[in-house]
């Protein structure tokens, strides 16, 4: 079964795979929103901002967790246990990050991210369905090289920004470019998710989309912070992007 992708399986197995991916993804997003909301309380914010390790512990803990999850991705029920701990750690990292922002900024960025993610997903799935019946429609499978080139540029710029800090305008351009880039990745991965994974790897499919959602939200929040002059550390933002990208590659 593991040598057969979801796209090559029967329509029932294919549809079951898609349902599982998006059910898990919805549960992850909901859980993340709840944790982030709890951490946005004033008492929690004060404690987080005076304890630096509260940012780095979950940040690097997700790397270990994801490695274990990838290793045990076909083992039930341990894969769901590891998925839960991964989501909790990722939610804590995100909660720490948004604790530095005004709650209005966080809410606006969250709603926009939800709208963009839902819109891009529906557009891609509709295009994919039409592509099966009409050959000359949108085919996003060729976006990979361009997205990879953009990702290299994003990472290279981020590394330079750590050692030679940019001005506020360049930081804003960096964040907006990241939003556009990960919008492309959402379309690309949504289009190809059933062609790259077996029907039993729905957890890895959900994690891939979830991390792209998180990265888009972080970059959009960072861009929004410039409107209120409530800036978040560029280094910490880049560390979270680098960590999440490493998780996606795993």
Domain ranges for the chain: 6-249
pLDDT given at position 134:
45
Mean pLDDT on 29-37: 82
**In this predicted structure, which of 52-61, 65-74, 181-190, 231-240 has the lowest mean pLDDT?**
231-240
pLDDT given at position 149:
92
pLDDT given at position 94:
81
Return d(Cα 48, Cα 54) in angstroms, integer. Answer: 6
pLDDT given at position 128:
61
Mean pLDDT on 98-119: 81
pLDDT given at position 221:
84
The answer, yes or no, to whether residue 89 has pLDDT greater than 80, is yes
How far is residue 193 from each of residues 187, 197, 207, 236, 242, measured CA to CA in Å?
10, 6, 11, 30, 22
Asked if 6 and 199 touch (Cβ cutoff 8 Å), the reply is yes
Return d(Cα 63, Cα 232) in angstroms, integer. Answer: 23
pLDDT given at position 204:
87
Mean pLDDT on 132-137: 48
Q: What is the mean pLDDT of the chain?
A: 79
**In this predicted structure, which of 96-105, 141-150, 168-177 has the lowest mean pLDDT?**
96-105
**The token pair that represents 125 in the structure block:** 């799935």
Among candidates 172, 121, 181, 175, which has minimal Cα distance to 148?
181
The answer, yes or no, to whether residue 67 has pLDDT greater than 80, is yes
Predicted TM-score of the model (pTM):
0.81
The answer, yes or no, to whether residue 136 has pLDDT greater than 50, is no
What burial letters (b/e) apply to 115-142, b meaning 16+ CB within 10 Å?
Answer: ebbeebbeebeebbeebeeeeeeeebee
pLDDT given at position 1:
46
142 falls in which pLDDT band (50, 70, 90)?
confident
Return d(Cα 161, Cα 181) in angstroms, integer. Answer: 18
């Amino acid at each position: 079964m593991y040598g057969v992708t979801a796209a090559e399986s029967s329509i029932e197995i294919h549809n079951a795979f898609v349902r599982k991916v998006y059910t898990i993804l919805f549960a992850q997003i909901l859980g993340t929103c709840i944790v982030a909301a709890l951490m946005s309380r004033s008492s929690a914010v004060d404690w987080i901002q005076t304890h630096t390790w509260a940012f780095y512990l979950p940040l690097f803990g997700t790397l270990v967790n994801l490695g274990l999850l990838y290793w045990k991705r076909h083992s039930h029920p341990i894969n769901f246990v590891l998925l839960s701990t991964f989501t909790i750690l990722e939610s804590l990292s995100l909660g720490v990050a948004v604790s530095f922002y005004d709650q209005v900024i966080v809410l606006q960025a969250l709603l926009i991210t939800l709208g963009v993610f839902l819109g891009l997903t529906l557009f891609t799935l509709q295009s994919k369905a039409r592509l099966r019946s009409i050959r000359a429609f949108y085919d996003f499978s060729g976006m990979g090289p361009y997205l990879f080139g953009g990702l290299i540029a994003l990472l290279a710029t981020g590394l330079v920004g750590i050692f030679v800090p940019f001005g506020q305008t360049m930081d804003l351009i960096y964040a907006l470019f990241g939003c556009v880039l990960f919008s492309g990745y959402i379309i690309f991965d949504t289009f190809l998710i059933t062609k790259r994974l077996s029907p039993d790897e729905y957890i890895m499919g959900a994690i891939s989309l979830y991390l792209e959602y998180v990265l888009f939200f972080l970059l959009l929040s960072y861009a929004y912070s410039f409107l209120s002059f409530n800036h978040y550390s560029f280094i910490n933002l880049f560390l979270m992007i680098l960590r999440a990208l490493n998780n996606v590659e795993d």
